């Protein structure tokens, strides 16, 4: 079951997304470690701070891999 995998949104491949709406910062490391997608997916936390800004948190290596794909496919230009 997807809820047991600590994933809130479905049909978001290639991303596994956990949503949080809190005043304080949740334990990002703990949440990412608890997320268990049933296939290789990029694990993301969408965090909306109550009365504040919205953030997306992911592991650095995943972010760098996505950036590399964007550059390699000429979606993102480098200077």
CA-to-CA dists, residue 33 to 20, 36, 54, 75, 79, angstroms: 15, 8, 21, 30, 35
In whole angstroms, what is the distance from residue 56 CA to residue 19 CA?
A: 9
Mean pLDDT of 43-61: 94
Residues 6+ apart with CB under 8 A from 65: 42
Q: What is the pTM of this model?
A: 0.85
- Res 50 pLDDT > 70: yes
Mean pLDDT of 21-34: 93
What band does 79 get if pLDDT is binned at 50, 70 and 90?
A: confident
> In whole numbers, what is the pLDDT of the chain averaged over residues?
92
In whole angstroms, what is the distance from residue 49 CA to residue 73 CA?
A: 34
What band does 78 get if pLDDT is binned at 50, 70 and 90?
A: confident
End-to-end Cα, the chain, rounded Å: 45
């Amino acid at each position: 079951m997807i809820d047991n995998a600590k994933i809130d949104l479905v049909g978001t491949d290639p991303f596994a997304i956990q949503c949080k709406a809190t005043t304080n910062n949740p334990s990002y490391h703990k949440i990412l470690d608890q997320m268990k997608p049933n296939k290789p997916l990029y694990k993301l936390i969408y965090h909306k701070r109550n009365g504040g800004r919205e953030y997306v948190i992911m592991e650095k290596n995943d972010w760098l891999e996505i950036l590399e794909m964007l550059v390699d496919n000429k979606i993102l230009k480098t200077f």
